[in-house]
């Protein structure tokens, strides 16, 4: 009955939509339910620490130099054995990222000689004014690990002599 | 005139209007939920459990929105047009019987507002007024898109009204009366949808065009006319137009249920009369689901094809259906009662012929294009 084709087409369409009614909804109820991010997702930056609690960042500002949108501002200061923040010669006394400027390209990650700055998993970045968009160091630093101590630490003289700590070849 | 009777009418009228307005609110939710499920989504579920407060949130939003009136608009008509669209939608439900006569505290309560002996004619005449509202809304906005939408809607609604009226005629012929109560009672043994399936199909298609629903929502084709006749409306005036559209859906579903699907009749209605309103409510909900389902399935058809379909397919087919129904009734009365089954058989044949001719035309067009 090819003649009935106009009608059969309509009924097939109706059947398709009716059948889709009984499928499981694909909706993710966002604030309550979150989809895990992909392994290489580039979210908000995190400043990493070593296991003992020292900051990886040595304040070299290579990230700021690499940043295509000039979102990063770094100011370095000297470490002393009395007040030690990082294993290197210097540390970042100010580290600010303007999240309104950042394009999440990940160049800062690539530029960092100590793997201190990493683009993390957080993507919920909202603020109500421009000043809040500038994330200071305290917000970016990851919390101290269980067996570490907070910075500044008091260290024995002669333990940290290199200006850049010794690094293995980066993975990933 | 009895004073108590007037009070009863007033109360019934108020209750009906409130049911329709509440029904409008929850129809929007019903539609959004059903559409969402068809599109494998969840739909509104934030305001209250399962989103049941969503219509209230929408209403509050619409009330507090700014009402803009275009500087060059015809202010009076711009103001009146939403009212003119809404009122017929509310008024046509007056003749729909919502149930058999109930006895409440020894008082006989009829579940309709007006028992007009030409009820179907009344419905036809009042629905035609709704066209004015849309045309005037389009014209008074002084906007070319609104104007186009209004003109389209007038042409479309006037064209499909003929097929709709002839579908009504087939039900009137089968019942032998225009009174809604008697039409329902005539379907005591068999619903008219079984006696006149093609008439019912014509009714369902024509109502989609009458209430400007997809796939015949030409007057408000978003892609071509932004929003058609209500493009300049905002705030509460827009809500009125919106309300009119959805109340028309409810009203026309109630009429369809009454004319072809046995109205408030169903199992055990004679023993328990209060089942009547429940049955008609369920029938309305199912018919409304049909409208939503069709909206979710079919794309909007082109305007010239809409007119061609109305005049070249639906009108001849509905005339044939009326003719077949009349002949079947005469044969059943004069020769043999069982000859009434000639009506569905012959009208299905007529429907088949109509589809076959559509198929031929479509194929010829395909060849012409190739």
Angle at B203 between CA B308 and CA A8, to 5 degrees: 65
Which residues in chain A are contacts of B298 at CB distance < 8 A? Answer: 10, 13
Give per-residue pLDDT as tens, B276-332.
788 888 899 999 999 999 988 888 888 888 888 888 888 999 999 998 888 888 888
Q: Which residue segment(s) compose the domain that A70 sits in?
A: 37-140
Task: pLDDT band for B127, please (50, 70, 90 cuts).
Answer: confident
Task: Decide if A84 is inside a domain.
Answer: yes
Give me the pLDDT at residue B191, please: 85
Cβ–Cβ gap A13/B298 under 8 Å: yes
pLDDT above 90: percentage of residues in chain B: 2
Q: At what angle do helices B75-91 and B3-38 cross, to 10 degrees?
A: 100
Give me the pLDDT at residue A166, please: 80
Token pair 């619409």 is found at: B62
> Using CA of residue B28, residue B32, residue B33, residue B37, what is the dihedral sign?
positive
Token pair 């009829």 is found at: B110
- Are B212 and B202 within 8 A, CB to CB? no
Nearest CA-CA partner of B247 in B34, B92, B62: B92
Which residues in chain B are contacts of A10 at CB distance < 8 A? Answer: 298
Give B42 to chain A, closest Cα distance, Å: 6
Beta strands in chain B (DSSP E): 102-104, 107-109
Give per-residue pLDDT as tens, B177-218.
888 888 888 888 888 888 888 888 899 998 888 888 878 876
Taking all residues of chain B, what is their mean pLDDT, rounded to a whole number? 84
Give me the pLDDT at residue B142, please: 83
Residue B1 has pLDDT above 70, yes or no: no
Give me the pLDDT at residue A73, please: 93
The CATH number covering residue A91 comes to 3.30.70.3270
Nearest CA-CA partner of B257 in B218, B234, B289: B289
Residues in CB range of A147: below 8 A, 6 or more apart: A51, A52
Give me the pLDDT at residue A72, please: 92
Both tokens of residue B161?
């009204």
Choose among A6, A16, A29: nearest Cβ to B358.
Answer: A6
- Whether residue B46 lies within 8 A of chain A, CB to CB, comes out as no
Cβ–Cβ gap A17/B41 under 8 Å: no
> Count of alpha carbons within 13 Å of B345, Cβ hemisphere only?
7
Both tokens of residue A42?
């580039």
Give me the pLDDT at residue B273, please: 74
Cβ–Cβ gap B297/A14 under 8 Å: yes
Residues of chain A with pLDDT under 70: 1, 170-172
Cα–Cα distance between A140 and A44 in angstroms, integer?
Answer: 8
- Are B251 and B93 within 8 A, CB to CB? yes
Three-state secondary structure call for residue B286: helix
Count of domains forming chain A:
1
Other Cβ atoms less than 10 A from the Cβ of B216: the count is: 26
- Please name the residues between 18 and 57 in chain A that touch chain B, using a CB distance below 8 Å: 18, 20-21, 23-27, 29
DSSP B81-116: HHHHHHHHHHHGGGG---SSPEEETTEEE-S-S---
Choose among B36, B293, B355: nearest Cβ to A6.
Answer: B355
Give per-residue pLDDT as tens, B52-83.
888 888 888 888 888 888 888 888 888 888 88
Choose among A4, A17, A26: nearest Cβ to B38.
Answer: A17
Three-state secondary structure call for residue B53: coil
Give me the pLDDT at residue A1, please: 67
Give per-residue pLDDT as tens, B263-274.
787 777 777 777
Domain map of chain B by residue range?
3-369
Query: Residue B296 region, left (φ>0) first, then alpha (ψ -120 to 50), else beta?
Result: alpha
């Amino acid at each position: 009955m090819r003649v009935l084709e106009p009608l059969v087409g309509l009924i097939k369409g109706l059947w398709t939509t009716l059948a889709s009614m009984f499928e499981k909804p694909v909706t993710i109820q966002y604030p309550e339910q979150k989809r895990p991010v992909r392994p290489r997702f580039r979210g908000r930056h995190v400043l990493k620490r070593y296991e003992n609690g020292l900051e990886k960042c040595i304040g070299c500002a290579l990230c700021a130099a690499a940043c295509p949108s000039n979102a990063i501002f770094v100011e370095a200061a000297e470490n002393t054995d009395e007040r030690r923040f990082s294993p290197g010669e210097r540390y970042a006394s100010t580290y600010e990222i303007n999240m309104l400027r950042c394009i999440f390209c990940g160049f800062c990650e690539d530029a960092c000689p100590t793997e201190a700055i990493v683009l993390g998993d957080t993507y919920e970045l909202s603020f109500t004014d421009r000043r809040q968009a500038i994330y200071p160091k305290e917000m970016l630093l990851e919390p101290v690990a269980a067996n570490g101590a907070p910075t500044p630490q008091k260290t024995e003289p002669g333990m940290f002599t290199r200006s850049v700590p010794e690094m293995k070849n980066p993975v990933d | 005139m009895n004073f108590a009777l007037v009070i009863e009418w007033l109360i019934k009228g108020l209750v009906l209007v409130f049911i329709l307005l509440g029904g409008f609110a929850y129809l929007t939710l019903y539609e959004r939920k059903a559409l969402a499920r068809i599109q494998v989504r969840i739909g509104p579920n934030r305001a209250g459990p399962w989103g049941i407060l969503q219509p209230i949130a929408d209403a509050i939003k619409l009330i507090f929105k700014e009402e803009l009136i275009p500087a060059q608009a015809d202010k009076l008509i711009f103001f009146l047009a939403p009212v003119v669209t809404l009122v017929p939608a509310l008024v046509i439900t007056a003749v729909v019987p919502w149930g058999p006569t109930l006895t409440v505290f020894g008082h006989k309560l009829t579940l309709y507002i007006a028992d007009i002996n030409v009820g179907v004619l009344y419905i036809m005449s009042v629905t035609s007024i709704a066209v004015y509202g849309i045309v005037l809304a389009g014209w008074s906005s002084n906007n070319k898109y609104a104007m186009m939408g209004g003109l389209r809607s007038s042409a479309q609604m006037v064209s499909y009204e003929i097929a709709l009226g002839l579908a009504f005629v087939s039900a009137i012929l089968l019942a032998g009366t225009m009174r809604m109560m008697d039409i329902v009672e005539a379907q005591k043994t068999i619903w008219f949808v079984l006696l006149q399936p093609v008439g019912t199909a014509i009714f369902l298609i024509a109502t989609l065009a009458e209430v400007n629903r997809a796939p015949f929502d030409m007057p408000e084709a978003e892609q071509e006319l932004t929003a058609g006749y209500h493009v300049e409306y905002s705030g509460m005036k827009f809500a009125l137009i919106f309300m009119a559209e959805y109340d028309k859906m409810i009203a026309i579903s109630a009429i369809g249920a009454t004319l072809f699907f046995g109205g408030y009749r169903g199992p055990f209605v004679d023993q328990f009369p209060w089942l009547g309103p429940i049955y008609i409510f369920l029938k309305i909900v199912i018919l409304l689901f049909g409208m939503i389902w069709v909206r979710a399935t079919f794309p909007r058809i082109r305007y010239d094809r809409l007119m061609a379909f109305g005049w070249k397919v639906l009108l001849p087919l509905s005339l044939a259906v009326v003719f077949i129904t009349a002949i079947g009734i005469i044969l059943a009365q004069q020769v043999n009662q069982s000859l009434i089954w000639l009506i569905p058989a012959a009208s299905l044949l007529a429907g088949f012929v109509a589809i076959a001719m559509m198929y031929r035309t479509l194929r010829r067009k395909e060849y012409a294009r190739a």
